């Protein structure tokens, strides 16, 4: 079965600084990978996804993520964080066949300070 | 606006009471899901429906039942609520099991 680890529970960055949120997955074949963002009191919104092809994927709100098969990672990055990026971020992994539901990591809470 | 609609948004139950959480999507999606979110636990799958007419258990199905009423609607029922079921419940849908999910805004349930 697939699994996802987000090693950082909480990260604080200064506004304007760069951001990297880590995600490691476990799955024997090529996974489908996703990043979601959850603002306080809201549902989850899809930021970006990786199915195949170019290992660097662009998403909404200026985010990008890079799939590294050798490291079983799919880290989320943003070059310059805005205060509105403060939220919880979830990485998720799915199988590339069938209808097996996504498995989510436990999330990383991002705080942004002035 | 198109999307996933959950009702109610908030609910307080007494231990032993029953209730049904409603979820409807208007995107003609085939698959629907129920997750619960607890602090430090992320999202855990309760039940899902890969297509109309099918339902399957997820990671934490005990104490819950589901009904895929039609392609649009997927309800979650708590027959006898327990304090351990205090949580935020999210419904989601996807066109196929492989795509990104669209989430509802959640139901915050408190069982006292």
- A43 and B106: CB-CB below 8 Å? yes
Which of B4, B84, B95 is closest to B44 using CA atoms?
B84
Shortest distance, CA B12 to any CA of chain A (angstroms): 17
CA distance B77 to B87: 14
Residue matched to tokens 């979650």 = B76
- Residue B100: list chain A partners with CB under 8 A: 34, 46, 49
On the question of pLDDT at B22 being above 90, the answer is yes
- Residue A98: list chain B partners with CB under 8 A: 97
CA distance B89 to B104: 9
| Predicted pLDDT at B5 | 96
Residues A29-65 pLDDT 10s: 778 999 999 998 888 999 999 988 889 999 999 999 9
Residue matched to tokens 């009471």 = B17
What strands, in cross-sheet order, belong to the sheet with B4-7? B4-7, B19-25, B74-78, B64-68
| Predicted pLDDT at B97 | 59
* Contact assessment for residue B23 and residue B107, using Cβ atoms and an 8 Å cutoff: no
């Amino acid at each position: 079965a697939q699994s996802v680890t987000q090693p950082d529970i909480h990260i604080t960055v200064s506004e304007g600084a760069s951001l990297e949120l880590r995600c490691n997955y476990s799955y024997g074949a090529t996974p489908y990978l996703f990043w979601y963002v959850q603002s306080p009191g809201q549902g989850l919104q899809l930021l970006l996804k990786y199915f195949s092809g170019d290992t660097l994927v662009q998403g909404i709100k200026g985010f990008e993520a890079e799939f590294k098969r050798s490291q079983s990672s799919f880290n989320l990055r943003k070059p310059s964080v805005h205060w509105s990026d403060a939220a919880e971020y979830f990485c998720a992994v799915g199988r590339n066949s069938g209808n097996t539901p996504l498995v989510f990591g436990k999330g990383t809470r991002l705080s942004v300070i002035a | 606006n198109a999307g996933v609609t959950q009702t109610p948004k908030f609910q307080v139950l007494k231990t032993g009471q029953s209730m049904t959480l409603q979820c409807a999507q208007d995107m003609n999606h085939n698959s629907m899901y129920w997750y619960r979110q607890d602090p430090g636990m992320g999202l855990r799958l309760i039940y899902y429906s890969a297509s109309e007419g099918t339902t399957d258990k997820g990671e934490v199905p005990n104490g819950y039942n589901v009904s895929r009423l039609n392609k649009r609607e997927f309800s979650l029922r708590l027959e006898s609520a327990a304090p351990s079921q205090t949580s935020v419940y999210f419904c989601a849908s996807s066109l196929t099991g492989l795509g990104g999910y669209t989430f509802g805004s959640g139901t915050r349930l408190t069982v006292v």
